[in-house]
Chains A and B, each alone.
Chain A
Amino acid sequence: MLFWQMAWRNVWRYRRRSLLTVLTIGLGLAFNILMRGIGDGFHEQMVDNSVRAEIGHIEIHRAGYQHDPALLKTLPDPQLIEQVVPHTPHLRGYSFRVLGDGLASTADNSAGVSIVGIDPRAERTVTTIDRAVIAGKFLDARMHRPILIGERLAQTLNAHLDDKVVLVVQAADGSMGAQLFHVAGIFRSGSPELDRGVVYLLRNDAQSLFVLPGGLTEAAILLDSSQSVAQAQNYLTRRLSGKGVEVLPWYVVEPFLRQFIQLDDAFFYIIVLILFFVIAVGILNTVMMSVFERVREFGVMMALGTRPGQVVRMVVQEAAALGLFGVALGAAVGSGLTILFAYTGINLAHYAEGASALGITTTVIRPELTASNLVFSDLSVFCVVLLVALYPAMKAAALKPVEAIRHI
Chain B
Amino acid sequence: MLGETKPGTQCAEFDALLTEAIDGTLNGQRRERFDQHKAGCPACSTLFAEVVSGVAWLNEVEDVEPPPNLIHNILAATSGVAQQAAKAEPRRTAWERFLVQTRIVFAPVLTPRFGMSMGMAFFSITLVLNMAQVRIRDLTPHNLSHTFYSSQNKLMKYYENMRLVYEIESRVRDLRNASDESEREQKNRRREKNSNQTQEQNQNSEPDPRPHREFSRGQNVQYVASLNGSEPCLMTHSGLLAKPRREI
> Is this pair of chains taken from one and the same complex?
no
Interface of B toward A, CB cutoff 8 Å: none
Interface of A toward B, CB cutoff 8 Å: none
